[in-house]
Amino acid sequence: MLMFLLLKFLLLRLLLLMFHLLRFFLLRLLLLMFLLWRFFLLMFFLLKLFLLMFLLLRFFLWRFLLL
């Protein structure tokens, strides 16, 4: 009986530990994904901005060259 309770207790502790480790890694993974997602969004907007600036610059240069 005592052995059974001890085994049960150890099993519960192990499950709890696994749960905490899993939660820790999942939180880290979510944080990493969130930061990478923000980084990709930032890169996307910067790329769009540079493209827009390039197109405007090209447009104005053509206008000045044609005049």
- Model confidence over 12-64: pLDDT tens digits? 999 999 999 999 899 998 999 888 888 999 999 999 999 999 999 998 888 88
pLDDT at 50: 95
Which residues neighbour 34 within 8 Å (Cβ) at sequence distance 6 or greater?
Answer: none
pLDDT at 66: 78
The Cα 25–Cα 31 span in angstroms is: 10
The Cα 41–Cα 33 span in angstroms is: 12
Residue with tokens 């197109």: 55
pLDDT at 62: 85
pLDDT, average across residues 9-13: 92
- E strand segments, the chain: none
Give the domain ranges of the chain: 16-67
pLDDT at 54: 93
Helices (H), the chain: 2-66
CA 22 centroid distance within chain? 18
